[in-house]
C-alpha cells in the first residue's frame, strides 16, 4: 500500500513538474514582436522539447524510437529574411514512433486531450483522410508560444511527435550542444 | 628537318600521357583535399565557431579552398595540354609513317632525314618508253608523298609549339596566395585552351533542358572539367544539368564575383554605395551558409544552382538537399520586394521547410527545398507590383527550371514528388508558368496570392485537388486578390483547396518569432511531403 502511495505521489509530483515544464517560458514570453525573446540555452531548449515529446508519447501510450530524434536549431529570421547578431534561434525537435495505423486516431485523441488540459489551443485536428486512419493534432501554447504536433507520418505505421519552440535567446557565452546544420 | 624527322619517328606518346596522368592525379588530390576540407574542417567549424578569431580563421580557410581550386584548375589544364599534344603528335607520327611506308611500297626512297627521292635509273631504262612513263608517274607521286611527310612534320612541330606556349601560361606559384587569384588562374587556363584551339565555341542556349543534359553527357570528363573551369557562368545556369555540376560552377562564379566586388568600387558596377555593400554582404553570407552546410550529409547540404548579383534585384537559386535524388522536392518562388540581400534568410527558411517536410515524409525519403529567386521581383515602392509583366517574363524561366529538375532526376533514376510553391507576387509567376504549358508539378501551393493569372485552378494544367491556397486571416492581400490577374485564388469558385493558416499578416507565413504559430509551417511541410494538409471548409469568398 505504501509503495502504491509512493508511486502515486511520484506521479503527481511528476505531473506538477510537467505542468511547470509545459509552460516553462510563460513568465518571460513576450507578446510584442519587438520584445527580446526568452533566454534559454540550446541544451535547455532541447531538454524542454524532449520532455514535452516524452510526455506526449506516454500520454498516447506509444514508444519513441530513440534513433529518430532530430533536434534542428535555426536562426530566427525577420520578415525580410534579416537575422540578429545575438544568435537567437528556434528549435524544431522531432521524434518518430512505430504505431499501427489503426491506433493513430486514439493516440492523437489522447494527446489532444492532454494538451488542451495543459492550456494549449488546438490549431489543427483530424482522425482520418478519405475514411482511412490518418490522424494529427497541432496545438499552440498561448503563453509559452511553442507548438506541439502529434501526427501520422508518411508510410504505413509511423507517427511523429514534434515541438517547435518560439524564438529563444541563448544566455551570454553559452555553448551550443549542436550546430545549426 | 633531320632532327624533327628523327624525333617524330621515334616519338613515344606514353611519356607525355604518363606526365598527364601525374597532373590529373594532382588535380584529383587537390579536389579531394578541398572536398574533405569543406566537409570535415571548414564546414563544421563554420556552423559552430564564432567570434573575431573564427572570422579570421574562416576567411583564411576560405582562401585555402580557393587555392586548392586553383591548383586543381591548373593541374587539369596541364594534363589536358599534355594529352592533347601527345595525341596530336601521335597522329602526326602515324601520318608520317603511313606516308613513308606508302612511298617505299611505291618504289621510292626515303632518306633518314625524311627526303623522298626516286630510285636510281636502271640500265636500259633510257631506251624503254614504258619504264620512262612509269618513272615520270613515280616522280609525280614522289611530290605527293613528300608533301604528306612535310605536313606531318609541320603538324608535330605546331602541336609541340602550342603545347609549349600553353604550359608556359600556367603559374608555377599556384599555391602562393600572394601571386595568384582565381580570375587570373581562370584566364591563364582559358588562354592555354585557346592556344590549342580547344575551346569549343558551342554552348547550349539553355532553352531546352533535355538538349543541355544530352550535350553535357556527351562530353568527355576532361572536356567537362574544361567547361567548368572556363565557362562556369554559362554551365551554372544550364537547366537539366546535375545539381552537383551546377553547384560546382556557381560556387566558382560566386567566388569570382566576390573577388571582383571586393577589388572594385560602387561606380564600377553602376550602383550606390549602399547597394554595393549590401551585395557584398549578401554574397559573403550566402558563401558562409553554403560552407556551413558542407559538413552535412548530402540530404542536408546546400547546392548553389544559380547566382548573379549584377542583374536588377539579383538572382540566386539555392537548394537544401540534392533535388536530383530526393523523393520530395519543393521549389519556392518568393514575391514582391525579395532581393539578393534576402537570400541568406531564404536559406534558413528552406531549411525549416525541409525539416517540417522530413517529419511528414516516409522513413528513408529525402526532401529537397529550393529557393528560386530567378526572376525580377517587383517592388512595393513603385507600380511594378500592379502589373504582370515581370511575372510573365519570369514564368518561362521557372518552367524551364522545373523541367530541368525532372531531366536531371531522371538521370538519377528518380521521379520525385514535386511541389511548386510561392508567396505573394511569386504566385502569379507560378500561375503563369503553369497556365502556359504546365510547371511539371504534382502540387502547387500559393500563399498570400494576389492572383494566379487564371480564373480556375483547373486552368493550371494540374489536378485542382492538388492546388492549395493559404491566406492569413489578416493578410491585406484579401482586399486586392483578383486585382492583378485572374479570379482571387481564395474564392471557392476558383476551385483550389484553402489550407489552414494560423500566422498573421502578408509576410508571416513562416514566422517563428514572438507571436508566431506554426500550423502554417506544418501544412507547408505536409504538402511538400505529399501528405494532406489541414484545410478550411469550402465557403463562398
The per-residue pLDDT for B252 is: 92
The percentage of residues in chain A with a pLDDT greater than 70, rounded to a whole number, is 73
pLDDT digits (tens, 9 = 90+) for B137-174: 888 899 999 999 999 999 999 999 989 988 888 876 66
User: Which element (helix H / strand E) includes B11?
Assistant: none
More confident residue, B414 or B305: B305
Residue A81 at interface with chain B, using a CB cutoff of 8 Å? yes
Give every CB contact of residue B251 below 8 A, 6+ residues apart in sequence: B290, B304
Identify which of A161, A160, A157, A156 has the alpha carbon closest to the alpha carbon of residue A98: A157
ipTM of the complex: 0.83
Coil, helix or strand at residue A57: helix
**pTM across the whole model:** 0.80
B126 sits in which H/E element: none
Q: What's the gap in Å between the CA of B534 and the closest CA on chain A?
A: 6
Question: Tell me: the pLDDT tens digits for B432-460?
Answer: 999 999 999 999 999 999 999 999 999 99
Share of chain A above pLDDT 90, in %: 61
pLDDT of residue B200: 61
Report pLDDT digits (tens) over B121-139.
877 777 888 888 888 888 8
Residues within 8 A of A (CB atoms), B 363-422 only: 363, 365
Decide if pLDDT at A12 tops 70: no
What mean pLDDT comes out for the span A28-43? 70
Q: Side-chain half-sphere of B199: how many Cα atoms within 13 Å?
A: 14
Q: How do beta strands B328-333 and B367-373 pair?
A: parallel
pLDDT in tens, B96-130: 999 999 999 999 999 988 999 998 887 777 788 88
> Which of A20-24, B80-84, B349-353, B505-509 tops mean pLDDT?
B349-353
* A119 lies within 8 A of chain B by CB: no
Cβ(B484)–Cβ(B451) below 8 Å: yes
Q: Which cell numbers in the block locate residue B268?
A: 564600377
Work out the mean pLDDT of chain B and round it to a whole number: 89
What are the pLDDT digits (tens) for A138-166?
999 998 889 999 999 998 899 999 999 99
pLDDT at position B48 is 72
Model confidence over B284-307: pLDDT tens digits?
Answer: 999 999 999 998 999 999 999 999
**β-strand partners of A150:** A137, A161
**Spacing of C-alpha A114 from chain mean position:** 13
DSSP assignment, residue B150?
H
pLDDT beyond 70 at B538: no
Q: Is B52 helix (H, G, I), strand (E, B) or coil?
A: helix
Which pLDDT belongs to residue B539? 56
CA distance B319 to B443: 18
> B349 and A151: CB-CB below 8 Å?
no
Chain B interface includes A66 (CB < 8 A): no
Q: Across the strands, what pairs with A106?
A: none
Counted residue by residue, chain A has a size of 181
A50 lies within 8 A of chain B by CB: no
Res. A22 pLDDT band, cuts 50 70 90 = low
H helix intervals, B127-208: 129-169, 182-195
Q: Give the pLDDT band (50/70/90) at residue A37.
A: confident
Question: Within the 289-328 window of chain B, which residues sit less than 8 Å (CB to CB) from chain A?
Answer: 292-293, 295-296, 300
Residue B27 has pLDDT above 90, yes or no: no
Give phi and psi for B500, each to the nearest 5.
Answer: -75, 135
Beta strands in B435-539 (DSSP E): 443-447, 467-470, 497-498
B412 pLDDT band (50/70/90 cuts)? confident
- B444 CA to centre of own chain: 26
Burial of B389 (0-12, 13-18, 19+ CB in 10 A): exposed
* Strand pairing report for B116-117 and B109-110: antiparallel
Sole residue written with cell 544539368: B241
Q: How many CA atoms lie within 13 A of B82 on its CB side?
A: 20
Determine the Cα–Cα distance for residues B540 and B492; give it in Å rounded to an integer: 5
Reported residue count of chain B is: 541
pLDDT confidence of residue A160: 97
CA–CA distance, B397 with B317 (Å, rounded to integer) = 12
User: pLDDT at position A11, please?
Assistant: 38
Strand order in the sheet with A147-152: A65-75, A89-98, A158-164, A147-152, A132-140, A121-129
B278 in Cβ contact with B309 (< 8 Å): no
| Contact flag A74-B348 (C-beta cutoff 8 Å) | yes
Q: Is the pLDDT of residue A53 over 60?
A: yes
Give residue-wise pLDDT tens across range B221-259: 878 888 888 889 999 999 999 999 999 999 999 999 998
Q: How many CB atoms lie within 10 A of CB B50?
A: 14
Task: Looking at mean pLDDT, say which of A90-104, B180-194, B508-522 comes out highest.
Answer: A90-104
Cβ–Cβ under 8 Å, residues B322 and B354 = no
Higher-confidence residue of B403 and B221: namely B403
Chains A & B: contacts with CB separation below 8 Å: 143
Q: List all residues of chain B from 458 to 497 with a beta carbon under 8 Å from chain A.
A: none
Write a three-state SS string for B398-455: HHHHHHHHHHHHHHCCCCCEEEEEEECCHHHHHHHHHHCCCCCCCEEEEECCCCCCCC
Instruction: Cell numbers for B36, please give them.
Output: 574533405
Phi and psi for B54 in degrees, rounded to 5? Answer: -60, -45
Segment 59-88 of chain B within 8 Å of chain A by CB: none
What is the average pLDDT across B379-392? 82
Residue A179 above 80 pLDDT?
no
> Between the ranges B33-37, B375-379, B390-394, where is the mean pLDDT highest?
B390-394
Q: What is the DSSP string of B272-283?
A: -HHHHHHHHHHH
CA distance B509 to B512: 9
Q: Is the dihedral of CA B85, B90, B96, B102 positive or negative?
A: negative
> Mutate which of B339, B514, B527, B528 to disrupt the A interface (most A C-beta within 10 Å)?
B514
Q: What is the pLDDT of residues A76-97, one digit of tens each?
A: 877 666 777 778 899 999 999 9
B514, A124: Cβ pair inside 8 Å? Answer: no
- SS3 category, B308: strand
- Per the prediction, chain A carries an average pLDDT of 81
**Which of the four pLDDT bands, split at 50, 70 and 90, describes residue B179?**
low
Q: Residue A136 — φ and ψ, nearest 5°?
A: -160, 150
Whether A160 and B359 lie within 8 Å, measured CB to CB = yes
**Those residues with Cβ within 8 angstroms of residue B101's Cβ, 6 or more apart along the chain or in another chain:** none
**Chain B CB contacts of A74 below 8 Å:** 348, 351-352, 355, 512
Amino acid at each position: 500500500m505504501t509503495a502504491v502511495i509512493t508511486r502515486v505521489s511520484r506521479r503527481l509530483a511528476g505531473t506538477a513538474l510537467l505542468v511547470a515544464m509545459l509552460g516553462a517560458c510563460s513568465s518571460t514570453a513576450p507578446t510584442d514582436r519587438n520584445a527580446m525573446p526568452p533566454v534559454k540555452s540550446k541544451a535547455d531548449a532541447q531538454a524542454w522539447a524532449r520532455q514535452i515529446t516524452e510526455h506526449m508519447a506516454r500520454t498516447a501510450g506509444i514508444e519513441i524510437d530513440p534513433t529518430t530524434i532530430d533536434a534542428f536549431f535555426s536562426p530566427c529570421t525577420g520578415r525580410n529574411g534579416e537575422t540578429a547578431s545575438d544568435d537567437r534561434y528556434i528549435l524544431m525537435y522531432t521524434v518518430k514512433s512505430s504505431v499501427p495505423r489503426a491506433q493513430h486516431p486514439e493516440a492523437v485523441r489522447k494527446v489532444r486531450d492532454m494538451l488542451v488540459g495543459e492550456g494549449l489551443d488546438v490549431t489543427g485536428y483530424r482522425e482520418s483522410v478519405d475514411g482511412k486512419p490518418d490522424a494529427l493534432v497541432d496545438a499552440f501554447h498561448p503563453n509559452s508560444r511553442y507548438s506541439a504536433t502529434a501526427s501520422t507520418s508518411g508510410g504505413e505505421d509511423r507517427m511523429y511527435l514534434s515541438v517547435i519552440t518560439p524564438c529563444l535567446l541563448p544566455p551570454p557565452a553559452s555553448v551550443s550542444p549542436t550546430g545549426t546544420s | 628537318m633531320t632532327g624533327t624527322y628523327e624525333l617524330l619517328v621515334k616519338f613515344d606518346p606514353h611519356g607525355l600521357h604518363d606526365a598527364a596522368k601525374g597532373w590529373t592525379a594532382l588535380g584529383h588530390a587537390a579536389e579531394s583535399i578541398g572536398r574533405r576540407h569543406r566537409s570535415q574542417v571548414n564546414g563544421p567549424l563554420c556552423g559552430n565557431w564564432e567570434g573575431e578569431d573564427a572570422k579570421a580563421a574562416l576567411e583564411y580557410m576560405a582562401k585555402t579552398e580557393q587555392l586548392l581550386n586553383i591548383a586543381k584548375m591548373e593541374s587539369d589544364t596541364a594534363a589536358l595540354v599534355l594529352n592533347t599534344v601527345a595525341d596530336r603528335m601521335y597522329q602526326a607520327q602515324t601520318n608520317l609513317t603511313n606516308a613513308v611506308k606508302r612511298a617505299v611500297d611505291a618504289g621510292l626512297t626515303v632518306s633518314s632525314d625524311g627526303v623522298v627521292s626516286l630510285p636510281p635509273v636502271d640500265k636500259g631504262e633510257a631506251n624503254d618508253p614504258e619504264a620512262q612513263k612509269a618513272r615520270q608517274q613515280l616522280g609525280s607521286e614522289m611530290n605527293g608523298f613528300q608533301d604528306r611527310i612535310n605536313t606531318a612534320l609541320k603538324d608535330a612541330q605546331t602541336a609541340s609549339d602550342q603545347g609549349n606556349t600553353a604550359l608556359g601560361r600556367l603559374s608555377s606559384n599556384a599555391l602562393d596566395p600572394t601571386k595568384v587569384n582565381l580570375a587570373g588562374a581562370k584566364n591563364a587556363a582559358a588562354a592555354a585552351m585557346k592556344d590549342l584551339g580547344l575551346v569549343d565555341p558551342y554552348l547550349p542556349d539553355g532553352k531546352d533542358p533535355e538538349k543541355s543534359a544530352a550535350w553535357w553527357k556527351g562530353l568527355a570528363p576532361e572536356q567537362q572539367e574544361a567547361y567548368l573551369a572556363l565557362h562556369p557562368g554559362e554551365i551554372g545556369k544550364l537547366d537539366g544539368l546535375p545539381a552537383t555540376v551546377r553547384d560546382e560552377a556557381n560556387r566558382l562564379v560566386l567566388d569570382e564575383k566576390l573577388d571582383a566586388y571586393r577589388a572594385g568600387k560602387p561606380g564600377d558596377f553602376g550602383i550606390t554605395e549602399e547597394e554595393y555593400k549590401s551585395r557584398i554582404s549578401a554574397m559573403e553570407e550566402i558563401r558562409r551558409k553554403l560552407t556551413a552546410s558542407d559538413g552535412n550529409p548530402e540530404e542536408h547540404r546546400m547546392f548553389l544552382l544559380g547566382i548573379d548579383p549584377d542583374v536588377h534585384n539579383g538572382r540566386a537559386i539555392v537548394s537544401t538537399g540534392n533535388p536530383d535524388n530526393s523523393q520530395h522536392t519543393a521549389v519556392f518562388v518568393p514575391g514582391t520586394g525579395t532581393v539578393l540581400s534576402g537570400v541568406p534568410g531564404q536559406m534558413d527558411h528552406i531549411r525549416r521547410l525541409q525539416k517540417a517536410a522530413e517529419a511528414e515524409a516516409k522513413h528513408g525519403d529525402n526532401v529537397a527545398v529550393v529557393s528560386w529567386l530567378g526572376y525580377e521581383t517587383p517592388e512595393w515602392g513603385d507600380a511594378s507590383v500592379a502589373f504582370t509583366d515581370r511575372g510573365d517574363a519570369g514564368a518561362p524561366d521557372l518552367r524551364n527550371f522545373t523541367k530541368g529538375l525532372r531531366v536531371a532526376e531522371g538521370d538519377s533514376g528518380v521521379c520525385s514528388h514535386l511541389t511548386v510553391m510561392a508567396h505573394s507576387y511569386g504566385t502569379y509567376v507560378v500561375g503563369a508558368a503553369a497556365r502556359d504549358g504546365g510547371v511539371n508539378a504534382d502540387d502547387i501551393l500559393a500563399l498570400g496570392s494576389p492572383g494566379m493569372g487564371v480564373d480556375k485552378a483547373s486552368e493550371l494544367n494540374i489536378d485542382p485537388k492538388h492546388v492549395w491556397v493559404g491566406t492569413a486571416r489578416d493578410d491585406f492581400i484579401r482586399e486586392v486578390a483578383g486585382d492583378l490577374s485572374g479570379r482571387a485564388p481564395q474564392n471557392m469558385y476558383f476551385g483550389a483547396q484553402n489550407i489552414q493558416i494560423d500566422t498573421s499578416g502578408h509576410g508571416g507565413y513562416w514566422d517563428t518569432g514572438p507571436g508566431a504559430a506554426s500550423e502554417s509551417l506544418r501544412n507547408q511541410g505536409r504538402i511538400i511531403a505529399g501528405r494532406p494538409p489541414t484545410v478550411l471548409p469550402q465557403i463562398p469568398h
